[in-house]
Each structure stands twice: as structure tokens, then as C-alpha cells.
Amino acid sequence: MINQQLAGLFPPDESGIPADYRIEPIHQREYLLNGEMRTWNGPVSEVYSPICLPDAEGNLQRKLVGSFPVTGPKQALEALEAAVAAYDNGRGEWPTMSVAGRISCMETFVGKMLEQKKLVVNLIMWEIGKNLADATKEFDRTIKYIYDTIDTLKTMDRNSSRFRIEEGIIGQIRRSPLGVVLAMGPFNYPLNETYTTLIPSILMGNTILFKTPKHGSLLHYPLLEAFRSSFPKGVVNSMYGRGADVIPPVMQSGKVNVLTLIGSSRVADQLQRQHPKLNRLRSIMSLDAKNAAVILPDADLDVAVSECLLGTLSFNGQRCTAIKIIWVHRSVADEFLRRFGPAVSKLKPGMPWEPGTQITPLPEPTKPDYLAECIQDAQANGAAIINEGGGEVAESLFKPAVVYPVKEGMKLYREEQFGPIIPVVAFDDEEEFIHYLITDDHGMQASIFGTDTNAIAKLIDPLVNLVSRVNINAQCQRGPDTFPFTGRKDSAEGTLSVEDALRSFSIRSAVATKDTDANKDILNEIVGEHKSTFLSTNFIF
């Protein structure tokens, strides 16, 4: 049933939207292919914001933000061919360009990207409902990621700008590109997570096809021209359309060398299987997660409450790194819930542009029904919502619900809810928690809350072998972006971070010769007369 108080948080009409954040629908009719903005006259997909306005009858309707092309398999294969041609089996202008040359193109791109900041941030708010502070942070974090990646690449290049002499062999070892990269980003960090794979792929000399997510697609449009004018033709190609139509022919061609996806393990499996030569495909993926927090009997509950609030509900819990289940020792469960429940209910729901808003409209139209279903399932099995207002809904606005006691057999125990529900489990023995992690399909991160160093240490050792990051008295999170971001089981394949991503999207190649005078003369002449880009001692300052 629609909650009228929540419904009243949507703007009553256009005048209720602050002038700075109003948006005229953007109808994208072009896409980037082979260095050109191609005009599109075919079918389009309309983009409806999770932000609603009442219609004449007073019913909340999602606001139209614009539309984008639904291109088909033909355009997808054209994009693939453009990327293949630009790579040209490693002989293209881009893969053979010096690292300094590639960095210079990327710097041009960042300058142009910065010019689009206001529009992109506004589109992040409108398309996925992320609040203004977090949308701005997403943009700024992406810019910082690009600059950090450039700096790290310079360091890597400097370290490889020299010869090694070992066991009578002289060699130079550098990282080389892999080929054509198919990149797909998620809706929850549509800019940041897409770019944390796209940018290192491009910088390492690969050529790219990138498919925008269903929610969070339009915000890439203002950046297509920046890509077009900053890189040689065919290096960056956009792909629109339904994944089920456009991805299979591209994968089945066998011409994709790297698949990078931030999404579900189910989709990842389907996509990988379509490649005819799996051994030739490298996959870099961040997938499902059900990060768990464990609250030990002696935990500082103030810290546990504030970190669990951030961990479970930043961006309404729609983060792969969100804490998606809390295990609390039975001796402190009541006290934890007595503090946590009201803190959750106090989070401010509202429109993304309103200062201090913490709970915002959800972009996936089916999500509120799914969340309600999870709650009903838990209730039918003996759990209850323990916070005031939890589970109240008005179209896309959903008030976070703390559900307790959650047990094996309930959807919330195993499914990744990816939204504002916090399942809480009571336990008596830490072994129950460890057993949960062992039997879980996921293995991204966990958080331990406690003060007893013996108890914390006893958990750290098994946990580091079950997940990829153990946070102590802190929420789960990806940052800092220089830390490895990965997971076990169904949670990831490969590792991302500023440096790891550069390595993931490249392979080491070596040029080697026997240490003889004749060979040294050859090397000296090639290097001295700058005859090769790879075999070179040029130093990037």
C-alpha cells in the first residue's frame, strides 16, 4: 500500500524541482562507432527516472529523462569490427603507440570529461536516484582514479625502461595489450565502475567495445564526443541495445580477448560460455556478494551501529560491497537492535538533490515488489520488521527495513537483496558464522566488530581464506582504490585496483637476446636511434 507521507516527498510538479537540477529530456540519437558519431533512426529505449511526479489523477509517475538507441546485432558487429581493425592484431596505431603518447590522449580526454561534470552528475541523480553528494563523489572519484592510473602507469613504464641481464641473457620486459576488450558496467556505479575497467584497458593499448547499463545509460552520452575526439578511431566504440541481442554475436565471434563485467555471476557464466575458445578469453569481473558483518559480545555498539548503517544503507544498500547480512551475538542482539532500529528509521528519505538525503528512490522498477516479497517470506517464517516505518513504500521510495531473526531457509539468508533491507541473525557460537561463510556462494568481504583481540584474531585467520577483505570495526568497502578489489567463489574473477587493473588488462612481453658483442651492438643501435617503441629506454618524466 502506498504510504502517503513518503509519496509527499516527491515533487508536486516541475516547480518543486530546484532550478539547478531540472532536466529537459535528452533524446540520444547517435552512438560512437569507429571514430564517428553515427546517427540512429531505429528503435529507442525510453529512460524513466526513479524520481516520480504526480499525474493529473494524483498517481505517481516516473519522470521521463530521455531515450537512447536500441541498436541491434548488426551495429554490435560493426563496433566489434571497428575495435578489431583499430587493434589490427597488435599493429594498429593505438597498441603500438608509446605509453607517453597514450597518456597524452588520456589527459586530453580527462580535460573534456571535466567539462561535462555538471550534466553527468545531474544525470546520475536522475537516472539512478543517487543523492547529489554521492553522485558528485562518484564523478570526482573517477577523475582521481584516472589520474592515479596515469601516475601508476608512468611508474610501471619507468621501471621497464631498462634492460635486465641474467644468466647470459639480455632482455627488456614490458606490459603489452591483450586485444579487444568488451566492457560492461553496472547501474549502481554506472560511471565509476565502468571507467575503472575502461580506462586501464584503453591506457594499456587495447581497443574497446563498451555497453552501457540499462539504468545509467544516458549519462555516458555527453562523454562519447570526448572519447571520439581524444583517441584514434576505433579505439573506443559504444554499444547500446538489449544485452541478449547484441552480446551473443560479439562473444560468439571469438574476437573478444577480454571480457570485463561488473554484474551477476549468472550473466558472467552465460557470456563466457558463448566464446568459442574459452582459453583465449581473459575475464575480469566483479560479481555477486552477500557481505556479512559479525558483532561479537564485547563490540563497541556505537561503532557497530554507525558502521553498519553506512555499510548496509549507503545508496540504499545498492553497492556490491554493502553489508547484506548482520550476525550479532545473542548476548548483545537486543541492545544492538534497540540502537540500530531507530538509527535506521531516522535516515532521511527524499529527493537526491535535497541536502542530507540518505534514502532515495530505487531505479529498478521491480525492486520494491521484490523487497516486499523478501519481507513477506521472512515474516511467514517467523521474523519481523523491528524498526518503525520499515518497509513502507511509495512507488520507488522504500523505507529501509531491519528484519529479525533471519534464519536458514529464508530468502534474506542467502539471496543478495541489493536494496534497503537489513537481515539480522542471532548466533551463540562464532562457528555458526564461519559455517555460514563456508556454505555461502559468495566471498567478497566481511566485517568484524569487537574489542577482544583474541576473538578478533581467531576470526581473521579463517575469514581471510573465505573472503578477500576483512574489515575490523569498519564497514565493507572497495576504497581506497589502490587496495585490491576482488572476491572468491561467485564474487569475482581477477583483481581490480589502480595497479592491478593495469596488470589485468595487459600481459608481459619480453625481447631477449644472448649477451654477445654483436647482439649488444644491435640493441644499442635500435635503442640509440629510437627504432622501436617497445625496445626503448625512453623515460617518462
Q: Which residues bind ligand G3H (CB under 6 A)?
A: 188-189, 193, 319-321, 477-479
Cα dist. 452→108, 208, 213, 369, 473 in Å?
Answer: 52, 49, 44, 41, 12
- Cα(181)–Cα(343) distance, rounded to whole angstroms? 44
**Closer by beta carbon to ligand G3H, 77 or else 310:** 310
For residue 32, what are the β-bridge partners?
37
Q: How far is the CB of 361 from ligand G3H (least distance, A)?
A: 18
**Closer by beta carbon to ligand G3H, 50 or else 95:** 50
**Closer by beta carbon to ligand G3H, 52 or else 261:** 261
- Cα(487)–Cα(445) distance, rounded to whole angstroms? 7
Place of cell 576473538: 455
Q: How far is the CB of 460 from ligand G3H (least distance, A)?
A: 20
**Closer by beta carbon to ligand G3H, 137 or else 414:** 137
**β-pair type (169-176, 507-514):** antiparallel
**β-pair type (492-493, 180-184):** unpaired
Is the CB of residue 452 less than 8 Å from the CB of residue 404?
Answer: no
End-to-end CA distance of the chain: 63
**Closer by beta carbon to ligand G3H, 262 or else 437:** 262
Q: Which residues contact 211 (CB under 8 A, 6 or more apart)?
A: 182, 183, 184, 238, 239, 240, 243, 246, 247
For residue 207, what are the β-bridge partners?
180
- Cα(313)–Cα(321) distance, rounded to whole angstroms? 11
C-beta atoms surrounding 242 within 10 Å: 12
Nearest CA-CA partner of 198 in 118, 268, 113:
113
Q: How far is the CB of 316 from ligand G3H (least distance, A)?
A: 12
Q: How far is the CB of 134 from ligand G3H (least distance, A)?
A: 9
Q: How far is the CB of 189 from ligand G3H (least distance, A)?
A: 5
Q: How far is the CB of 293 from ligand G3H (least distance, A)?
A: 14
Q: How far is the CB of 287 from ligand G3H (least distance, A)?
A: 11
Report the alpha-carbon angle 202-243-131, nearest 5.
Answer: 70
Q: How far is the CB of 472 from ligand G3H (least distance, A)?
A: 16
Is the CB of residue 512 less than 8 Å from the CB of residue 169?
Answer: yes
- Cα(410)–Cα(85) distance, rounded to whole angstroms? 51
**Closer by beta carbon to ligand G3H, 67 or else 486:** 486
Q: How far is the CB of 137 from ligand G3H (least distance, A)?
A: 9
**Closer by beta carbon to ligand G3H, 320 or else 463:** 320
Q: How far is the CB of 479 from ligand G3H (least distance, A)?
A: 5
**Closer by beta carbon to ligand G3H, 216 or else 341:** 216
**Closer by beta carbon to ligand G3H, 111 or else 479:** 479
Is the CB of residue 290 less than 8 Å from the CB of residue 421?
Answer: no
Q: How far is the CB of 322 from ligand G3H (least distance, A)?
A: 8
- C-alpha cell of residue 230: 581524444
Spell out the SS3 assignment of 145-180. Answer: HHHHHHHHHHHHHHHCCCCEEECCEEEEEEEECCCE
**Closer by beta carbon to ligand G3H, 6 or else 262:** 262
Asked whether the CA dihedral 509, 513, 517, 521 is positive or negative, the reply is: negative
**Closer by beta carbon to ligand G3H, 176 or else 321:** 321
